Amino acid sequence: MRRLLAALFLLGIFPAAARGDEALSVSDVWQVRSKSPLTVDGGLVLALPTALGTGLSSGVGAGVSYGRLLAWEARASWSTATESSIPWTVTQQDIKLRAGVALQHAFGRGRVGLRLGLGPTIVYESRLRNQGTRAELTGSALETSAAELFAAGDLQGVVALHVFGPWLLAVSGGPSLAIGSSGTVRGGWSSLVGIGWQP
């Protein structure tokens, strides 16, 4: 009995640190550690096709920006849409290349901004005549393709939220304008939902 009392006495004099005291807190795990003005992002692109009047063009896009309040950006995206009529099935691919600036403000874990991007949009269109092979059509009577270059611009609102470490959730979207070589003006919209990385 004396030995038990002596052991309890010694434990009370020399307390040991609990193992739970050394564990990382939840705030340490989700802490934002991004300090660089460089941001890289990419994700799913949804947009109105540049040359088709209807439909939804979907694909992928990516971009890089450098700066804090005022950032310089370069972006690229590819998307495709397919529409059908009685005689034809039309597939269009939009390749967008943009360079521009963004005005942005960071607060807490988030960042909001407005970006303006200018550059070319290349539209590649292929048309396939429905039931053309059954009618034994060949060549241009069965299938045609063409490409057109548009001068274009996008104005997008941007929201980015730091999830943990250098990783962000990024959402952007807004109106776009494209002018064809013949002077045709087409309005539309584009958006991106994806992830970003800021070292």
Q: What is the pLDDT of residue 12?
A: 57
Angle CA 3–9–11, to nearest 5: 105
| pLDDT tens column, 40-81 | 999 999 999 998 877 899 999 999 999 999 999 999 999 999
Residues 198/168, Cβ–Cβ less than 8 Å:
yes
| Rounded mean pLDDT, 6-29 | 54
Angle 169-170-172 from CA coordinates, rounded to 5°: 155
Contact 149, 120 (CB under 8 A): yes
Alpha-carbon distance of 141 to 139, in angstroms, equals 5
Residue 29 belongs to what H/E stretch?
Answer: helix 26-29
Give me the residue spans of the domains in the chain.
37-81+98-119+151-197
Among 19-33, 41-55, 66-80, 109-123, whose mean pLDDT is lowest? Answer: 19-33
pTM of the model: 0.78
Tokens coding 131? 């039931």
CATH class given for the domain over 37-81+98-119+151-197? mainly beta
